[in-house]
Amino acid sequence: MSWRRSPHAKGSLVRRRILSVIAAAVAVAGTVFAATPAGAQPSPSGVQPNIVGGTPAPDGAYPFMVSLQAKDGEGTGYDRHGCGGSLIHPYLVLTAAHCVQGAKPEDLQVVVGTTVLSSNAGEKRDVAELKAHPKYQFPNYDVAVLVLKAPVTSVDAPLLPSRGTDALERPGTTARVIGWGNTIEQSHGNPGNGNRSFPDRLQQVDVPIVSRAECQVGNPDTKIDDTLVCAGVTHKDACQGDSGGPLMREATVDGRKVWFQIGIVSGGYGCAATGAPGYYSRIGNAEINDFIREFTG
């Protein structure tokens, strides 16, 4: 996956391809690992090219997944991709605020439902409006909503948790994160020995939820408050380019399997490093939940 982490942001359209928009977002997020065009460098011997510890996602597994792209960028969607997102309503995409800070609606395009970025699959939509949480200051309240010019119909959106609840965030339970970000582990101070690998196909990985107290120890320079939920373990994590994508829990509702989106990829101290879980904007937080529901009703 690709952008995440500001020393520590995990995405802000961190791949150079999202051009000036992404560059601005990265600057706001802080010092992000140096961005490199996806796939510009081969994976070193012995490195598994998945989300970081994950597997390729099957076609159509996540129809609500969004690639946030530079509208007028060159090349395929693989070249234009900068951040992830999720379709939460026919007209609404949820992403990280650091992905769009400094951007204008006309700079961006979203592709909904694609699995392989370089393909022509998925539905493309222009952005009419974008709004970040009014209290955003990375990484806290790192959430933004994009209003689309035309709806995307016939897609089952992930469910969102209730305001002020944490029933789906019990430490030790398993969540899933998906994205097109860097797949090579990045330890703080020695980011992948300079190696990066950005996949064309969407990646998925299961990660354990981590308590905020443990997460604070692993991320000493970041205020881990109740606007954040943490997840990850050695060799399994989101990374640069995954920012804005969903952290999810699977559940059974009325006899069918559904996804609840509990977080939005935001940042971390490296990627998949031992003792440094990633942190995600927490959708169950009352103020973040209220902000999102201003749009969804």
**Quick one: average pLDDT of 51-76?**
93
**pLDDT at site 270:** 83
Contact 110, 146 (CB under 8 A): yes
Query: Is pLDDT at 6 greater than 90 in this prediction?
Result: no
> Annotated catalytic residue: which of 2, 243, 266, 281?
243
Q: Is 133 one of the catalytic residues? A: no
**Quick one: average pLDDT of 202-226?**
95
**pLDDT at site 196:** 82
Specify the higher pLDDT residue, 221 or 36. 221
Q: Is 225 one of the catalytic residues? A: no
Entry pTM: 0.86
**Quick one: average pLDDT of 19-42?**
32
Q: What is the mean pLDDT of the chain?
A: 84
- Which range (238-247, 256-265, 269-278) has the least confidence? 269-278
**Quick one: average pLDDT of 105-132?**
96
Q: Is 98 one of the catalytic residues? A: yes
Q: Residue 190 — very low, low, confident or very high, per pLDDT cuts 50/70/90? A: low
> Annotated catalytic residue: which of 2, 98, 197, 266?
98
> Annotated catalytic residue: which of 142, 237, 242, 281?
142
**pLDDT at site 98:** 97
**Domains identified in the chain and CATH numbers:** 63-148 (2.40.10.10), 166-284 (2.40.10.10)
- Taking only the tens place, the pLDDT of each residue in 271-296 is 888 888 999 999 999 999 999 999 99
**Quick one: average pLDDT of 29-57?**
44
**pLDDT at site 194:** 61
CA dihedral sign, ordered 211, 214, 3, 202: negative
